[in-house]
Structure 1
Amino acid sequence: MAELTFQKYLKTYVRQLSEQNTVSIIRLADEASGTNYRIREPLMLYAMVTGQSNKLLCATKNAELYKEYHGILTTYLKEQVMAILAEGTDELPENYHKVWRSYVSVRDRSLADQETIGLIRNKIHRLQEKHEIPIAEIRDAMALKPAKYNRWVVHGDCTAVTLAEARTAFNAVTELIQEQQNPKLQF
């Protein structure tokens, strides 16, 4: 999983907020001009970061909403809006800052997950060395696709697996170690 950008976040977010499950600026502007109030700020930011600001202005039918969008889009450049959001200044209405804070929360959670995945990878390496388990057995116990295993365990790419996959893989390795230390007797 690649690093979450504001644009990727907004695309997913406006689609989720959309009553039509769309990212079409024209359809979303129609929703925002109507009863879908929650989509208004994310839509303006999405149009701005995707270079569709003019399309949004043309499609916005609600005069009050058009005035708000026009005011922001003609006053600030994209880079200025991004700086205002990142700095948390009060130049933009609070609802725009809420969208930004939501993005930062999701982005940072993803980074924290990647750090945890890296720690789990290190634990697996230490266990493998300590208990002298062949790499092939570890790979088989993890039940990961070979490409994922190589990206994560061999090359250290912590974006190759999810946190849930990493935890499952670690549990599989610890179970393998327990089975080797306490073999079951078969009759």
Structure 2
Amino acid sequence: MRKLSFEGFLKRYVVELSGVQTTNVHKLADCLCENPRMKEPLFLYALTFDKVNLLLRYTMNSNVAAEYNQLSNRYSSVKMLSLLENLSPELPEGYLKVWRSYCSVRDATLADNDTKELIHRRVLELQKEKHLTNYRLYTDLQLNPGNVNAWLKCNDSNKMSLNCAR
């Protein structure tokens, strides 16, 4: 599975927040009036995909135009990414929230793998204690035998979802 990039996250995030199922900057900018939560992700999206001029044109008469203009003059895409990665206090809190949201989504599989590791150890302890075979586990729980065996014998966490491990 490919690692989630900030660009990919922003693309999905603005579409999800807007509810318009498009990455068209004009349509996304129109959603700003109804959805003020889009202000920061939309600017980061436009900056990342080199669409700031379009965004400035479509938000010219709105209350976010001044902030967008100031940020676009001050930061390049590379500089903004660097400040976000370092959680710089120089940036407004809303932009840091977008970065933290990205980090939580990006690192969710790592947290799941840690949880699956704890569950794996406990299942092995219970198997020993109760004298349960892998066969008994996957037949009684109606799980995929290959995945259960790969998880229990080789500790391959990719073969078992967190839900199935629980």
Checking the alignment, whether the CA contact within 8 Å between 2:29 and 2:55 is kept in structure 1 is: yes
Q: What residue number does 1:141 align with?
A: 140
**2 CA distance for matches of 1:65 and 1:97?**
17
Listed one character per residue, the Cα deviations across residues 21-41 of structure 1 (whole Å, up to 9, x for unaligned) are: 434434213323x43321121
Q: After superposition, where does 1:67-146 map in structure 2 within 5 Å?
A: 67-108=66-107, 110-146=109-145
Query: 1:154 and 1:75, CA in 2 relative to 1: closer, same or farther beyond 3 A?
Result: farther
Equivalenced residues, count:
163
TM-score (norm 1): 0.66
Query: 1:93 and 1:48, CA in 2 relative to 1: closer, same or farther beyond 3 A?
Result: same
Is 1:53 matched up with 2:50?
yes
* Structure of higher RCO (CA pairs closer than 8 Å, 6+ residues apart): 1
* Deviation of 1:130 (Å): 4.3
Structure 1 counterpart of 2:53, one-letter code: L
Structure 2 unaligned spans of 5+: none
State the superposition RMSD in angstroms: 3.2
Checking the alignment, whether the CA contact within 8 Å between 1:57 and 1:69 is kept in structure 2 is: no
Structure 2 counterpart of 1:86, one-letter code: E
Indicate the SS of the match to 2:31.
Answer: helix
Structure 1 counterpart of 2:116, one-letter code: I
* Deviation of 1:93 (Å): 2.0
Structure 1 unaligned spans of 5+: 168-187
- Give the number of the structure whose alpha-carbon radius of gyration is greater: 1
**1 CA distance for matches of 2:69 and 2:131?**
65
Query: 1:97 and 1:128, CA in 2 relative to 1: closer, same or farther beyond 3 A?
Result: same
Indicate the SS of the match to 2:157.
Answer: coil
Checking the alignment, whether the CA contact within 8 Å between 2:150 and 2:159 is kept in structure 1 is: yes
**% same residue:** 34
Q: What residue number does 2:31 align with?
A: 31
Structure 1 counterpart of 2:136, one-letter code: E
